[in-house]
Amino acid sequence: MMNSFKGLEPKGIWNYFSDICKIPRRSSKEEKIVEYLLEFGKKHNLETIADEAGNVLIRKPASRGYENRKSICLQSHVDMVAEKNSSSDHNFDTDPIQPFVDGEWVKAKETTLGADNGIGIASQLVILADTGMEHGPVECLFTTEEELGLKGAYNLKPGYIHSKILVNLDSEDEGELFIGCAGGIDTTATISYKTRRVPADSVAFRIDISGLKGGHSGDDINKNRGNSIKILNRFLWSVSERMPIRIACFDGGNQRNAIPREAYAIITVRQSHSQKLRDEFDQFCFAIKNELSESEPGLKTELKPADLPQVVLTKKYQLRMLNLLYACPHGVISMSKSIRDLVETSTNLASVKFTGSDTYTVSTSQRSSVESEKENIANTVSSIFELARAEVRQSDGYPGWEPNTGSEILKITVESYKKLFGKEPVVRAIHAGLECGLFLEKYPDLDMISFGPTIRGAHSPDERVEINSVKKYWDLLLDVIAHIPQHKNHNQGD
């Protein structure tokens, strides 16, 4: 695959990002990118180590005359969310991402781009490879399985990194500096069901909900975006009240941290009710498209004939599923009382999957910047699942990152931004999860900040990164590194 970024600046970042796009690295399948990083460190004669979780740490010594500077750790995650349009035959385990330039943005052909967090990785590699750059000691930490619950950071052992300053390169709004984030937990239900043979004189239909924006379940949860599972279930619940439909299959969403964009169901109905079903569907589609006309102009709905399945859910188990999905909350639960426009607590109904063995799985994720509220919404979802007689599992979760407005690295970064761009950056917390909370548990003395280029549509095939913002992000990162101070015991007069 040719370099799709010819002529873009900064050249080094785009060259490395082009290489990264060629390496399959979906979450839990990061072996090839880890191998690439280990070979990179070896090639450049840098201290390179990997831990049991696959996290890679590459250390670059200070340039001559800068040995007394404080060490800084630059951190990114190596995995990417593997989302694609239903029309795509892309194989995330073998195929390279196909990026392209579209005006002021870089996008990918029908898949997630992986700028989250590939741009962060690329910038670290430029710094590690540059032999002329002046800087103090630098550590570059590359963590694994961030998109699957921050597993690499969770398994990071104390003492692995030496720096007391850490810059997380995983934020997605240029001009905004992040000093806090929400904690999160996943709640998953596995529900058994029974089936019966398809009633006589039945016909089958497939119902598809598609064209939704989806997006990041933290960054985009407050944007009134449609949830394909909720929309599909709403129709099925409503129509089941008025005619004897039977569900054979229900499938929607993929990633725990993405708002589901597509869902489909296979249903049966008696031949005599088929026209009434079409009429009900048309009325529902008119209503839902009107409700979401501003936030989801691309919403597509389709009902078409399908092959007749052999079995369908019994009435009892079908009703249990429809009620469970209707009752399961999705969206913003509460807003912050202290930080304007910050979502405090939310929950994402992420996916429904029939396993083919008389069970289906419902996956959700909860976030909150208040630990007790995180537990409360997770328990709310769990209680709903238990009412449906589900087997419920909850992840270990991860902590939030409490803001430190007196941070030294925050002051340095704010001053660098003002000097470079002539205006104040926005300093705030984020509802999305970052690894910083876990780092702080293991390294209580860490002074941290997070910033990055502008990325939109993360965790969806609409993911794109703004070209000009990458240059501004890069200039800021270099200036911050250049202004890392000396250790106090080396300063004259101390």
Catalytic residues, by residue number, are: 79, 146
Handedness of CA 356, 360, 365, 371 (dihedral sign): negative
- Give yes or no for a contact between 62 and 69, defined as CB atoms under 8 angstroms apart: yes
